[in-house]
A and B are shown apart, each in its own frame.
Chain A
Amino acid sequence: MILGKNRRREHVTATTLDTAFTRRSFAIAAGMGGIGTLLAARMGYIAIAENEKYELESESNRVNLSLIPPRRGWLLDRNGAPLASNRADFRVDVIPDRLADSEATIARLGEILGLGDAQIADINQRIEESPGFQPVEVATGLDYEQFAAISVRLPDMHGVVPQRGFSRFYPTGPAVGHLVGYVGPANAEEYDEQDRNPLLITPGYKIGKDGLEKVFEQELRGIPGARRVEVTASGRIVRDLETREDVQGDPIHLTIDGPLQDYAARRIGLESGSVVVMDCETGDILCMASMPSFDPNSFSAGIGRVEYAMLRDDERVPLRNKVLKGLYPPGSTVKPMHSMAFLQAGVDPNHTITCGGGVRVGNRFFNCWGNHGQVNMAKGIYQSCDSYYYRIAQEVGFEKVAEFAKTLGLGKQFDLPVLSQFYGTVPSPTWLEQKYDRAWQSYDTVNSSIGQGYYLTNPLQLAVMSARLATGNHVQPRLNRAVKPSAFHMANFRDDHVEYVRQAMSDVVNGPGTAGRARLPFDDILMAGKTGTAQVVSLSKSDGKSGPWKYRDHGLFVFFAPFDKPKYAGVVVIEHGGGSGSAYPIARDVMTFMFDPAKGMEALHALEKQWGGTAQERLTAKYAAYAAAAGEAVPPAPSRVEDIADLVEAEARVDARQSEEIADDVIAPRSEANPRAEGPPPDAAGTATGAGNFAAPAPSPSPSPAPSPAAGTGPAR
């Protein structure tokens, strides 16, 4: 109507324009309406049809669910003291995927935390190798100032996660390194294997990587807690919504005697070796020390390049657990056991042979280390007369002796919660035939009868052998207190035979034997034992006492105490110690500590003063010196600790074969340690040889090489 009026007033062309305006404005109104409808429909679609999806996304924006890593269960010694515990601390991790500029951020963190170049290089390497979503540890044990300094800079440093947490703490550090192992962040494979458990990529969460920590992983793990918090877009926590506490993992009670373990590890001192002590009645392993070792406290982020290079360059292989993966010819330590085998075979202990600096077996003459004259079984043990064993073993037949050796645990693995143990070898004619396709020769009997040749044992086996021999029971070693000790099978030894061997072994220490200086400083407790000196190279290469460390004789000592009512049994094995004189003083001090800790510590403190501190202190000093010398030039460590473990194991196997090189020839026995040092004078014959070569079997470390394994020569191996 209104438009109609307009048309009448306007002239024709204007009318056309007017109509156009009307038409076009309708079109525009329709367009506007269309767009409005479209917008309304779109909004309905987003807000109603897709509401659920967006609500979920909004919630996942708003609520941040973070797992609280469960506190790991403790590893406790037999008295409930922790060998591995947890310590509350501040830590900082980075999540590589969220880092804007990883190098710059790490450099910044390094500045705040005062990290060294090598540490920063390690962190950068871990970030590079990380799958990105897995956190990489930068540092633990921060003090509050450092923690606060990082926390306030968070807005500029995306992907940096500082937090309060718990980290694993090993109070005695290197003393328990090989036994308990260490923990570390899960690697990508472990994450995939465990169904991508988000716990494994939670910053600060560690899993067992070696030793008991790995074996008891499931028990120790615990149940993670969870925390739901409301966060802003920049990650600031607005409020806690809900928190579920974590459940700590179960503790593992071990049979280890913590103080003894620590003592033994420290007492090994500058030497490389192991000490095992068992409870004869229950089979409890009280001590399994292997030194030199590493400090598991410093491995928690992964093994640093400097530390790895240092441990790697050390020819004393601190990464190898020598109790389980060190194989050594047992040498004369098997003689009491062989004696028992002879007794079992019906040999009369009073039967004598004549040692004239050796003995004729078959049609060859084999040397003894001395000239012992008339030798019966007891004298064969306490004087360690080789001739006796050459002859009697030949008469009994070594197949029988070998069978017996196996019943005492040699060549066996034990049911223990450890990752791997080496079997070793008990040579026998059958075995030789199978393995080397060669007939057993008389010199094989000769070598084997004194624990040389193909004989290979690990220290744990020797300790078990000692316990079984001392008690006449099939003592089974036990490490986990949760495992009920079963009653041991009787070994079917005659009591008088057991007592005979015990007496002879007591005479080694307390009588006219080869280890007079091993006598315990108590009037009422007598220790029995047997020395052993194991050759590793032929006489032409080294005399076993001097020259390159690698060529020196191993020193061994098996023992039990009190000799008449054995309670403790064990072994000390010192690699390349130059003879048994390096081993039995350690056994003496360890057993002294067992019965009178104060007296034991007194002896240790005097020694540690000479050595320059406790094992931990020396390790720390060595690390500092090594790091200073090596600087940043150290090549990185393998990123997977599993690779390191494999490498260590492979090398251990190669090393163990070393002594077999001389097994196909007659051994030329070395002199035993000075039997005259203490106690009543022995029979005249032959001891002079020993006295000359090893006059002072004190635990002096002087013949060993300086403990600075070629910092300069670098990680060439």
Chain B
Amino acid sequence: MSFVPAPVARQPWQMLLPLIFLVGFGALVLFSASGGSWQPYAASHLVRFGVFLAMATVMTLFSPSLVKMAAYPIYVVVLLLLVLVEAMGFVGGGSQRWLNLGFIQLQPSELMKPAIVLALARFYGDLPVGMVPTWRSLVPATVLIMLPVGLVLLQPDLGTSLAILFGGGLVMFLAGLPMRWFAMLGAAGAVLAPVAFFFGLKPYQQRRVTTFLDPENDPLGSGYHITQSKIAIGSGGITGKGFNEGSQSHLNYLPEPHTDFVFATMAEEWGFLGGMLIIAIFAIILRWGLNVARNSPDRFSKLLAAGMTATIFFYVAINLMMVMGLAPVVGIPLPFVSHGGSSMMTNMICIGSLMMVYRWNRQARPGGLLH
């Protein structure tokens, strides 16, 4: 033990090793998705992971007070960026989701996913305990959530706004708000969902939902994606067709084989076993994340860690449900496997935050793990 330097040894390797393995595996899948080449996906995937892992490591050094202090400013900045994107889209004509910063295409809506968790954790962390069951705990949080959700919906980006809603909602749930509020919300949602479907969604979004319910009805339109994805996963069998042997992805039957449908690309070549491996690794990471939350000494850390974990989970769950035909096609990539800078950044921010909380936990109870 002693020959491992302390800063290295105190990293949460029980999570990091599976994560690195997952990213490496993702790079292999991307290698195959580009027809057996490191370019253009696999190499940049690894490079980005490296960069963002470094960023995450730096994040672990932040102190709780610093993070708490920065929580609202970060939220406000990201919210302003969202407004800016909306304004630019309005001026430029046509919707736009990103800001071109020269070196990176920044999607503020991606940043909002961890930012909302951070802001809400800060809000509930500071909220006097006695106010939790009152309206004063509900209204500000709701406003915090609905502002970005509304802005993202305007883009329009249903998937991301749902992710923000989910992350924020989950923090509120864990913050101990009265259970009956959630029950009421559920009831209201059940009533309002059809209304939202018919009046709130754009026709193409409605079509995605109807197509999801009956993909064979539109085999060459939007249903094509789901059908081809299921064919890719199904034809992989238990052990898959072999590395670089996937016909669905290589012959372009599978749409977006390197982003949204990367899991199908993987499953075709690695089969059920590859799928189980990925699900297991996510289970390890998410379980570690929840443990970090439970082991936290204060509400802010608890809520921050749980919210970050939930954000990652939301990505994973929606993406996998989508590629297996259990959810409509909403355009959410698979964390750490799909190619794409924004999603990698968001997920690494989540991981970084978790690692940061993990370090706080260790500092709060030195030797706590050893009793």
Q: A residues engaging B (CB < 8 A)?
A: 2-3, 6, 11, 13-14, 16-17, 20-22, 24-25, 28-29, 32-33, 35-36, 38-40, 42-44, 46-48, 50-51, 53-55, 57-59, 61-62, 230-234, 238
Q: Does B247 have its Cβ within 8 Å of any Cβ on chain A? A: yes
Question: In the bound complex, do residue B297 and residue A6 qualify as a contact, i.e. CB atoms below 8 Å apart?
Answer: yes
The verdict on A42 contacting B324 (CB below 8 Å), with A21-B302, A29-B287 known, is yes
Given contacts A14-B129, A17-B176, A39-B317, 14 further A-B contacts (CB under 8 A): A2-B368, A25-B293, A28-B306, A29-B287, A32-B286, A39-B279, A39-B321, A43-B276, A46-B234, A47-B271, A58-B248, A61-B228, A231-B251, A234-B252
The answer to whether residues A47 and B306 also contact, given A16-B176, A62-B247 and a CB cut-off of 8 A, is: no
**Chain B positions near chain A (C-beta within 8 angstroms):** 129-130, 132, 170, 173-176, 228, 230-238, 247-248, 251-253, 267-268, 271-272, 275-276, 279, 282-283, 286-287, 290, 293-295, 297, 299, 302, 306, 310, 313, 317, 320-321, 324-326, 368
Cα–Cα distance between A59 and B279 once the two chains are bound (Å): 27
Q: Is the CB of B233 within 8 A of A46?
A: yes
**Do B236 and A47 have beta carbons less than 8 Å apart?**
yes
| Residues A54 and B129 in contact, CB atoms below 8 Å apart | no
Is B267 a contact of A43 with CB atoms below 8 Å? yes
The answer on a CB contact under 8 Å between B317 and A35 is: yes
A567 to B211, CA, bound (A): 79
Most buried by A among B233, B282, B295, B321: B233
Nearest 7 CB-CB pairs, A to B? A54-B234, A58-B235, A20-B176, A13-B129, A62-B247, A17-B176, A233-B252
User: 9 A-B residue contacts at CB 8 Å?
Assistant: A17-B175, A21-B299, A24-B174, A36-B279, A39-B321, A43-B324, A54-B230, A230-B247, A231-B251
Bound-state CA distance A712–B211 (Å) is 57
Distance (Å) between the CB of A379 and the closest chain B CB?
85
- By beta carbon, the residue of chain B nearest A13 is B129
Contact of A47 among B237, B279, B282 (CB under 8 A): B237
A43 touches B275 (CB 8 A): yes
Determine the distance from Cα of A644 to Cα of B170 in the docked complex, in whole angstroms: 76
Residue of A nearest to B246 (CB): A58
* Inter-chain contact B237/A51, CB cutoff 8 Å: yes
The chain B residue sitting closest to A51, CB to CB, is B237
Using Cβ atoms and an 8 Å threshold, which residues of chain A touch B368? 2
Q: Is the CB of B176 within 8 A of A24?
A: yes
Q: Complex formed: what's the CA distance from A158 to B318 in Å? A: 34
CB-CB nearest in chain A for B276: A40
Closest residue of chain A to B275 (Cβ to Cβ) is A43
Q: How far is the CA of A48 from the CA of B294 in the complex (A)?
A: 37
B130, B175, B234, B282 interface centre (most CB from chain A within 10 Å) = B234
B231-A57 in contact (CB<8A): yes
Which one of A17, A35, A44 contacts B129 once the chains associate, using CB atoms below 8 Å?
A17
Which B residues are in CB contact (< 8 Å) with A33?
A: 283
Q: A39-B321, A233-B252 are in contact. Are A24 and B234 (CB under 8 A)?
A: no
**How far, in whole Å, are A642 and B317 apart by their CA atoms in the complex?**
62
CB distance from A51 to the nearest CB of B (A): 5
Residues of A within 8 A of B253 (CB): 58, 61-62, 232-233
Q: Specify which chain B residues have a CB less than 8 angstroms from the CB of A40 in the assembled complex.
A: 275-276, 279
Asked whether A22 lies within 8 Å of B294 as measured between CB atoms, the reply is yes
Most central of A40, A54, A232 by chain B CB within 10 Å: A54
Q: Select from chain A the residue with minimum beta-carbon distance to B248.
A: A58
- Asked if B231 and A54 make an inter-chain contact with CB atoms under 8 angstroms apart, the answer reads yes
Q: Chain A contacts of B129 at CB under 8 A?
A: 11, 13-14, 17
For A25, list chain B residues within 8 Å (CB): 174, 290, 293-294, 306
Residue of B nearest to A35 (CB): B317
Cα A176 to Cα B11 in complex, Å, equals 91
Q: Which listed residue, A3, A14, A46, A59, touches B230 by the CB 8 Å rule? A: A46
| From B252, B272, B276, B297, contact of A232 by CB (8 A) | B252
Cα(A234)–Cα(B251), bound, Å: 9
Q: Please, which residue of chain B has its CB at the minimum distance from the CB of A11?
A: B129
A29 pairs with B290, CB closer than 8 A:
yes
Instruction: Closest A residue to B273 by CB, please name it.
Output: A47
Give the chain A neighbours of B231 by CB distance below 8 A. 54, 57-58, 61
A55 contacts B235, CB within 8 Å? yes
Min Cβ gap B191→A in Å is 23
Using CB atoms, name the residue of chain B closest to A12.
B129
Complexed CA–CA distance, A59 and B237 (Å): 13
The answer to whether B295 and A2 have CB atoms under 8 Å apart is yes
In whole angstroms, what is the CA distance A28 to B169 when docked? 12
Residue of B nearest to A61 (CB): B253
- A55 to B232, alpha carbons, bound, how many Å? 8
The chain A residue sitting closest to B132, CB to CB, is: A17
A535 to chain B, nearest CB (A): 68
Compute how far the CA of A694 lies from the CA of B304 in the bound complex, rounded to whole angstroms: 118
A2 to B291, CA, bound (A): 12
Q: Known contacts A13-B130, A61-B248; is A43 also within 8 Å of B176 by CB?
A: no
**Chain A hits for B236, CB < 8 A:** 47, 51
Q: Which residue of A lies closest to B303 (CB)?
A: A21
In the complex, what's the smallest C-beta–C-beta distance from B239 to chain A, in angstroms? 10
Instruction: Name the distance in Å between B15's Cβ and chain A's nearest Cβ.
Output: 15
Q: How far is the CB of B141 from chain A (nearest CB, A)?
A: 15
| Nearest CB on B from A239, distance (A) | 11
Q: Nearest CB to that of B229 among chain A residues?
A: A46
* A21 and B176 contact, Cβ closer than 8 Å, known pairs A14-B129, A47-B275: yes
Residue of A nearest to B294 (CB): A25
Distance between B88 CB and nearest chain A CB, rounded to angstroms: 33
Contacts of A48 in B (CB 8 A): 237-238, 272
Q: Are A54 and B233 in contact (CB under 8 A)?
A: yes
Residue of B nearest to A55 (CB): B235
Q: How far is the CA of A16 from the CA of B275 in the complex (A)?
A: 40
Shortest CB–CB separation between residue A31 and chain B, in angstroms?
9
Considering the complex, give the chain A residue whose CB is closest to the CB of B227. Answer: A57
Residues of B within 8 A of A230 (CB): 247, 251
Residue pair B317, A47 in contact (C-beta under 8 Å)? no
The chain A residue sitting closest to B310, CB to CB, is: A28
* Complex: chain B residue closest to A60, CB-CB: B231
Whether B251 and A62, one on each chain, are in contact in the complex, defined by CB atoms closer than 8 angstroms, is yes
Is B247 touching A58 in the complex (CB atoms < 8 A)? yes
Say which residue of A17, A29, A53, A61 sits within 8 Å of B251 (CB atoms). Answer: A61
Contact A28 B174 (CB under 8 A): yes
In contact, B282 and A36 (Cβ under 8 angstroms): yes
CA distance A701 to B175 in the complex (A): 108
Closest CB in chain B relative to A470 CB, distance in Å: 70
* A47-B290 in contact (CB<8A): no
In the bound complex, residues from chain A placing their C-beta under 8 Å from that of B230 are 46, 54
Q: Which residues of A contact B294 (CB under 8 A)?
A: 3, 22, 25
Contacts A28-B174, A28-B310, A39-B324 given; indicate if A61 touches B247 (C-beta within 8 A).
yes
* Given A24-B174, A28-B290: A51 and B252 interface contact (C-beta under 8 Å): no
B contact residues around A39 at 8 Å (CB): 279, 317, 320-321, 324, 326
Residues of B within 8 A of A44 (CB): 272
> Quick check: A51 and B174 within 8 Å, CB to CB?
no
Q: Which interface residue of B170, B176, B313 has the most chain A CB atoms within 10 A?
A: B176
Contacts of A50 in B (CB 8 A): 234
Q: How far is the CA of A364 from the CA of B180 in the complex (A)?
A: 124
Report the minimum CB–CB distance from A338 to chain B (whole Å).
75
The distance in angstroms between the C-alpha atoms of A25 and B313, with both chains bound, is: 13
CA A46 to CA B237, docked complex, whole Å: 8
- Nearest CB on A from B228, distance (A): 8
Q: Is the CB of B174 within 8 A of A21?
A: yes
